[in-house]
Amino acid sequence: MRKIVYTLLFVLIFIPFWLNAQPKIIAHRGYWKTEGSAQNSIASLMKADSINVFGSEVDVWLSSDGVPVVNHDADIEIDGKKAVIEDTPVATLRRARLANGEIVPTAEEYLNAFLRCENVKLIIEFKKHKSKSNENVLTQKVVDMVRERGLQDKVEYISFGINFINQVRRLDPQAKVYYLNGDMAPAVLSAMGAAGLDYHYSVLYKHPYWVEAAHNLGQKVNVWTVNKPEDIQKMIDLNVDFITTDEPLLVREMIEQ
């Protein structure tokens, strides 16, 4: 009897550690490699929610008339020509169509759709802009929209730009913000108040010890964009906390093996 009790206690104590050890999945630009979806579309967000991954990532820019819009690249094709988002008013940007026929979403529309999601967190990437002032306006507007909808606990931020890390820290000190650019050690990021690092997986091939260093500082480690089985397995073995991927179902299958 005593043996059974000890065994049960052992299992109960270690189950949380075992569960924590599994990386969580973030769908890169939403779950877009599926019927009716497209990168950064509202459909890709809803589809990420439907497959019950941890997060859905999305990229945001500021239009020339100060409206936060969703897109990956700095420019977008409108009527056969490339338009730079920062230099184009939102009314013009709205003429662009995504691969699934959706109108390019504003951040406001995206967040309103996100209110209907039940499972995923939204991982918002602030793209680096031409001027700091545009970056500051973008951060202020997006953080305000998130707060107005009461979504603070369901949104995290990422950026290649240090200015964005500082702006998020200033505007919402509780918010989690991760740095993408791969060039800072965990101790530096910790001093900046970042929640952790979110680096290209090749950076961790070079600095595998950064995972443990980050964990020792209470930080989390995310990696992008991990799509190939050998890289996915390597990141699972390195004990990262999150894997950002275009192949969320493959990553899940490999984690659950």
Chain residues that interact with Mg ion, rule: CB under 5 A: 59, 125
CB of 160 to Mg ion, least distance (A): 9
DSSP string of 110-166, one letter each residue = HHHHHTT-SSPEEEEEEPP-SSHHHHHHHHHHHHHHHHHTT-GGGEEEEES-HHHHH
Structure tokens at 156: 């995290």
Kindly tell me which of 125 and 231 has the beta carbon lying closer to Mg ion: 125
Q: 190 or 198: whose CB is closer to Mg ion?
A: 198
59 vs 102, beta carbon nearer Mg ion: 59
- Choice between 190 and 199, CB closer to Mg ion: 199
Radius of gyration, alpha carbons of the chain = 19
Compute φ and ψ for 27, nearest 5 degrees.
Answer: -80, 115
Q: Where are the alpha helices (DSSP H) in the chain?
A: 2-20, 42-50, 90-93, 107-114, 132-148, 162-171, 186-192, 201-206, 209-216, 229-237, 248-256
Q: How far is the CB of 162 from Mg ion (least distance, A)?
A: 17
Least CB distance from residue 41 to Mg ion, whole Å? 14
Residue whose CB is nearest to Mg ion in the complex, by number? 125
**Residue (210 or 224) nearer to Mg ion, CB:** 224
What's the closest the beta carbon of residue 124 comes to Mg ion, in angstroms? 9
Q: Which is nearer to Mg ion, 59 or 247 (CB)?
A: 59
Q: What are phi and psi for residue 246, nearest 5 degrees? A: -85, -5
- Rounded to a whole number of angstroms, the minimum distance from the CB of residue 159 to Mg ion is 9
User: CA separation (Å) from 103 to 30, 53, 159?
Assistant: 16, 25, 25
- Beta carbon of residue 101, minimum distance to Mg ion (angstroms, whole number): 22
- In this structure, are strands 196-200 and 242-245 parallel, antiparallel, or unpaired? unpaired
Query: What is the rounded CA–CA span in Å between residue 50 and residue 19?
Result: 22
State whether residue 34 is helix, strand or coil. Answer: coil
Which residue, 59 or 172, is less far from Mg ion as judged by CB? 59
- Taking the complex as a whole, how short is the minimal distance between the CB of residue 52 and Mg ion, in angstroms? 21
Instruction: Count the neighbouring beta carbons within 10 Å of the beta carbon of residue 7.
Output: 10
